[in-house]
A and B are shown apart, each in its own frame.
Chain A
Amino acid sequence: MTVAAGIGYALVALGPSLSLFIAFISKKPFLILTLLSSTLVWLISLIILSGIWRAFLPLNSTTWWPFAILIFSSIAFQEGLRLLFWKVYKRLEDILDAFADRVSKPRLYPTDKMQIALGHGVAHAVFFCLSLLTPAFGPATYFVDRCSQIPFFLVSAIIALAFVTVHTFSMVIAFNGYAEGNKVDQLFVPSVHLAAGMMTMINFAYGGCVIGIPLLFLMAILTVMHCGRMVWRRLSESQRQVDS
Chain B
Amino acid sequence: MALKIVFLILLFSFRFRLSLSGNGQTNSMESVPDLQKSMYMVVDGYPCVRLVNLSGEIGCSNPGRDKVVAPIIKYKNNKELGLPSAILLSMDDVQGFFSRISNDSSFASNVAGVLVESRVEIQHKLKGFSPARKFPQAEFAPYHNTTYEWNPIGSGIMWKSYNFPVFLLSESSTSTLQEIAMKNEKTEKAYTTNVAEFDVVMQTTKVGTHDSESCLKEETCLPLGGYSVWSAVPPINNSSSNQSKPIILTVASMDAASFFRDKSLGADSPISGLISLLAAVDALSHVDGLDNLNKQLVFLVFTGEAWGYLGSRRFLLELDQQSDAVRGLNSSLIQLVMEIGSTGKGFSQGNKTFFAHTQVSSDTNEALDALKLAQESLKSEGVTVSNASSSNPGIPPSSLMAFLRKNSSTSGIVLEDFDTVFANKFYHSHLDDSANINSSAIVAAASLVARTLYVLASDKKDSTSSALSSINANASLVEELISCLLDCDPGLSCELVSSYITSVDTCPSYYVGVALGEPSSTPSPNQVDDISRFVWNFLADRTSTLKGNTTVCSKDCSNNGGVCIRAETDGKGICVNSTTRYVPAYSTRLKLDSGTWKVLPPNSSDPMGMLDPVWTESNWNTIGLRVYTVQEAAYDRLVLLGGISVTVLAYLAIVLTRAYITKALKQD
Q: Which A residues form the contact surface with B (CB < 8 A)? A: 1-2, 4-5, 7-12, 15-16, 18-20, 22-23, 57-58, 61-64, 109, 111, 131-132, 134-135, 138-146, 149, 151, 154, 157, 161, 184, 188, 191-192, 195, 198-199, 201-202, 204-206, 208, 215, 222, 226, 231, 235, 238-239
Contacts and interface: CB of A to CB of B under 8 A. Distances in A.
A7 B665 contact: no
Interface string B18-51: 1111111010101010011011100000000000
B464 interface: no
Given A23-B654, A109-B668, A202-B15, A10 B628 contact: no
Contacts of B217: none
Contacts of A62: 21-23
Contacts of A138: 36, 39-40
A231 B657 CA distance: 11
Interface in B1-17: 1, 4-5, 8, 11-12, 15
A149 B190 CA distance: 11
B125 interface: no
Interface centre among B22, B197, B642, B648 (most CB of A within 10 A): B22
B19 A61 contact: no
Given A62-B23, A111-B658, A141 B639 contact: no
Contacts of B24: 145
Interface in B621-644: 628-631, 633, 635-637, 639-644
A226 B661 CA distance: 16
B69 interface: yes
A202 B40 CA distance: 28
B12 A12 contact: no
B643 A19 contact: no
Contacts of A206: 22
Contacts of A11: 640, 643-644, 646-647
B21 to A, nearest CB: 6
Contact of B39 (A9, A142, A201): A142
Contacts of A61: 22, 26, 28
Contact of A12 (B38, B189, B642): B642
A15 B647 contact: yes
B26 A202 contact: no
Nearest to A192: B8
A141 B26 CA distance: 18
B504 interface: no
B35 to A, nearest CB: 6
A8 B668 contact: no
Contact of B32 (A10, A135, A238): A135
Contacts of B69: 139
Given A141-B192, A205-B22, A8 B630 contact: no
A139 B628 contact: yes
Contacts of A188: 4
Given A12-B646, A20-B650, A146 B11 contact: no
A9 B639 contact: yes
Contacts of A58: 28, 30
Contacts of B40: 138, 140
B613 to A, nearest CB: 40
Interface string B116-129: 00000000000000
A16 B655 CA distance: 12
B143 interface: no
B643 A8 contact: yes
Contacts of A7: 640, 643
A215 B8 CA distance: 12
A2 B634 CA distance: 11
Contact of B20 (A201, A235, A238): A201
Given A111-B668, A132-B35, A161-B646, A4 B639 contact: yes
Interface string B506-528: 00000000000000000000000
A15 B646 contact: yes
A235 B654 CA distance: 17
Contact of A140 (B39, B633, B639): B39
B22 A146 contact: yes
Contact of A8 (B629, B636, B664): B636
B639 A205 contact: no
A5 B655 CA distance: 27
Interface of B: 1, 4-5, 8, 11-12, 15, 18-24, 26, 28, 30, 32, 35-36, 38-40, 69, 189, 192, 197, 628-631, 633, 635-637, 639-644, 646-648, 650-651, 654-655, 658, 661, 664-665, 668
Contact of A19 (B4, B651, B668): B651
A154 B639 contact: yes
A142 B629 contact: yes
A235 B32 contact: no
A134 B643 contact: no
A64 B21 CA distance: 6
Contact of A16 (B4, B28, B636, B650): B650
Nearest to B627: A140
B20 A140 contact: no
Contact of A199 (B15, B22, B637): B15
A198 B189 CA distance: 30
A112 to B, nearest CB: 10
Contacts of A239: 664-665
28 contacts: A2-B636, A4-B637, A8-B639, A8-B643, A10-B643, A15-B647, A16-B646, A19-B648, A19-B654, A20-B650, A58-B30, A134-B32, A138-B36, A139-B69, A139-B628, A140-B39, A141-B629, A141-B631, A142-B39, A144-B26, A145-B24, A149-B189, A191-B8, A201-B20, A202-B20, A205-B19, A235-B665, A239-B664
Contact of B651 (A22, A192, A202): A22
A58 B29 CA distance: 9
B18 to A, nearest CB: 6
A117 B650 CA distance: 16
Given A62-B23, A195-B8, A57 B658 contact: no
A1 B631 CA distance: 6
B651 A23 contact: yes
A19 B665 contact: no
Closest 8 interchain pairs by CB? Answer: A11-B643, A15-B647, A16-B650, A8-B639, A19-B651, A140-B628, A8-B640, A5-B636
Interface centre among A135, A205, A208 (most CB of B within 10 A): A135
Contacts of B26: 61, 144-146
B636 A1 contact: yes
Contacts of B36: 135, 138
Given A2-B633, A11-B644, A205-B19, 16 more contacts: A5-B636, A8-B636, A10-B643, A12-B639, A16-B646, A23-B654, A61-B28, A63-B21, A64-B21, A111-B658, A135-B35, A138-B40, A188-B4, A195-B8, A201-B20, A235-B661
A149 to B, nearest CB: 8
A10 B668 CA distance: 31
Given A4-B640, A8-B639, A15 B32 contact: no
Nearest to B633: A2
Contacts of B650: 15-16, 19-20
Contacts of B658: 23, 111
A176 to B, nearest CB: 15
A5 B631 CA distance: 10
B8 to A, nearest CB: 6
